[in-house]
Amino acid sequence: MTTLIPLPVEPAEAPARLRRVCGAPLRSPGVTLSVLVLVLVLGWALVPDWFTTRSPLTGLPADRFQPPSSQHFFGTDHMGRDVYARVVHGAALSLRATALAILIALGGGVILGLVAGFFGSWADAVIMRAVEVTMSVPPLLLSLTLVTALGVGTGQIAVAIGATSVAAFTRVMRAEVLRVRAAPYVEAAILCGARWWRILPRYILPSAFGPVLALAALDFGLVVLAVSSLGFLGYGEPPPAPEWGTLVADGRNYLATAWWLTTLPSLTVAVVVLAANRLSRVFEAEGGHR
C-alpha cells in the first residue's frame, strides 16, 4: 500500500498569503477605492434595481437628449432612455461574459498546463506547439475570427475570448508544474509509487495554482475591455440590450450634440478596468509569487 508524503510547508502558507491579500485595502487608499468600485459594479450586476428604478429599455420621448443632471445622472439618449439605468443594467451582461471567459480560459489552461508539465514527452510537445501557434496571432483578431464563426451575442463573445486566452494560462501553469515537479517532496512521492491521480491534486495543483489565479485576476480588466470592444464592433447582444460596448457604439453618432452618450459609458469601462488591474497587481504581489 502506497504511503503519501506529507505536504511541505510551502502550501501551508496559503492562509498567511490570503490574509496579506485581504489586508492590502487597509494599507492603501488606492486599493480601497478599487475594491469599492468593483463591489459597486458587482452590485449593479446582481441587484440593479437597488441602484436605479428606471427602465433601461423604455424612455419618454419628451426627455430626449437630456444632459447629465440630478434627475438623469448620465443623461438620456435619443429615445429618452436613462443612460445611467442602461449602464447599471448592462453590467450584468458585460460581467457575465467576463466571468464566463475567465472560467473557460482558467479551466482549459489549468488542465492543459498540468498535462504538459507533468507528463511531458509528446503531450508537452503537441500542447506547447499549439500554444505557440495560438499566441502568434493577435488576440483581438483571433477573437474576431472565433466570434464570427460562433455568431452574435455576449455568450459567444465569452467563449471566443476565453478560448483565445487559454494559451496564456497554459504557459503559466506548465511553468509552475515544472517548478513544483522538481521539488524533493514530489520526487519522493513518485519514488514511493504514488500514482499521478494522487500526486496532481495533492502536491502539484495546490503549489502551482497561485500564479495562475493571479493571472486570472490580472486578466479580469483586460477581458472586460475585450468584451466591450467586441460589443462596440457589433458582436454583442443586439439592441436594445444595454451591453456596455453597444452603449458606446450607439452614442458615437451623437458626439457633437450629446457627448455623454459615449463618454460616460466609456469612462465606466475605463474605471472598472483600472480598478481591476490595480487590485490584480496587489494579488499578484502578495498572493501569486512566493
Question: What's the pTM?
Answer: 0.81
- For 73, counting Cβ atoms within 10 Å of its Cβ (0-12 exposed, 13-18 middle, 19+ buried), the class is middle
At position 65, the amino acid (one-letter code) is F
The Cα 151–Cα 110 span in angstroms is 27
**Residue among 58, 56, 65 at smallest CA distance from 261:** 65
Structural domain spans, the chain? 27-53+80-288
**Model confidence band, residue 25 (pLDDT cutoffs 50, 70, 90):** low
The Cα 101–Cα 154 span in angstroms is 10
Say how many C-beta atoms besides its own lie within 10 A of residue 220's C-beta.
23
pLDDT at 177 exceeding the cut of 50: yes
Distances (CA, A) of 41 to 83, 92, 93, 266: 15, 9, 12, 14
Per CATH, which fold does 27-53+80-288 belong to? MetI-like fold (1.10.3720)
pLDDT by residue (tens digit) across 94-131?
999 999 999 999 999 989 988 888 787 788 889 889 89
pLDDT by residue (tens digit) across 218-275?
888 889 999 998 989 888 888 788 889 989 988 888 888 889 999 999 999 999 999 8
Report the percent of the chain where pLDDT is more than 70: 83
